[in-house]
Amino acid sequence: MKIFLPVLFALCTAMCWGMYGPTIGNAQSKSWSPFKPYVFIGIAYLVLAIIGGLIAMRLKGDTFSYTGEHFAPAKWGFLAGCLGALGALFLTSAMMTSKGNALLVMPIVFGGAVSVTALYSTWRLWGHVQISPVLWVGIAMVAVGVILVATNTPHGHAAAKPAAAAATAGDSAAPEPAAPAIGGSDDADPEPIAPDSKS
């Protein structure tokens, strides 16, 4: 149970962040800059993080003080929030400049994030622990995996909606107008030929 909850929350994070790129890609347009949807990303953070965080603190019986020994969560929480907000800005900009190509951007983002975390931990503990050479093999495999995922994920547009598909099929099946008769109008009926009369 101790390992189940962290893994579950990590999988939920991967699911949410994995859908972040395709979702923000829907806001891509030449009519506005990447900063326009970014404002509402901040509003979502405001609603979920601040209001949700305060409610969760109340349910856990936590204090609302951030002074003294409680300054550490304020400092590190703010710095982590800045990194998260900058990451959201860079990811939004990447999605906009790539014309919503989440298949290219997302593997780089999350494959790179794993490697950055490993390198940062290695730097902090350098000289205190023995670094396994397998770590570098793993980082290289992550890079190869990013390339394989980005280049082999199915590309293309989603299937057309039934109404649009039917309209397209109807237009393509419409009969071509008949060519006009030579020497006369195609609207006029030919005059009947009277039979020869013999007296």
pLDDT tens column, 140-159: 999 998 888 888 877 655 55
CB atoms within 10 A of CB 129: 10
Q: What mean pLDDT is predicted for residues 110-117?
A: 88
Any domain includes 144: yes
* Same-domain check for residues 43 and 67: yes
Any domain includes 167: no
* Same-domain check for residues 105 and 149: yes
pLDDT at 79: 94
pLDDT of 162 strictly over 80? no
Of residues 127 and 70, which shows the higher confidence score? 70
Give residue 185's pLDDT band: very low, low, confident or very high (50, 70, 90): very low
Euclidean distance between CA atoms 103 and 107, whole angstroms = 7
Any domain includes 125: yes
SS (H, E, C) 159-176: CCCHHHHHHHHHHHHCCC
Q: Between vectors from CA 26 to CA 99 and to CA 87, what angle results, nearest 5°?
A: 75
* Same-domain check for residues 146 and 125: yes
Any domain includes 196: no
pLDDT at 191: 55
Domain ranges, residue 44: 31-97
User: Which tens digits make up the pLDDT trace of 120-131?
Assistant: 989 988 888 888
pLDDT of 81 strictly over 80? yes
In Å, what is the CA distance from 62 to each residue of 6, 53, 81? Answer: 22, 11, 20
Any domain includes 198: no
Any domain includes 53: yes
Q: Which residue has the tokens 């951030």?
A: 66
Give residue 184's pLDDT band: very low, low, confident or very high (50, 70, 90): very low
Any domain includes 54: yes
Q: Which residues contact 52 (CB under 8 A, 6 or more apart)?
A: none
Q: Which residues contact 98 (CB under 8 A, 6 or more apart)?
A: 104, 105
Euclidean distance between CA atoms 116 and 121, whole angstroms = 9
How many domains does the chain fold into? Answer: 2
Q: What is the mean pLDDT of the chain?
A: 79
pLDDT of 55 strictly over 90? yes
* Same-domain check for residues 47 and 89: yes
Euclidean distance between CA atoms 64 and 58, whole angstroms = 9
Question: Structure tokens of 98?
Answer: 């790539």
* Same-domain check for residues 92 and 40: yes
Helix (H) or strand (E) segment spanning residue 131: none
* Same-domain check for residues 104 and 51: no
* Same-domain check for residues 76 and 124: no
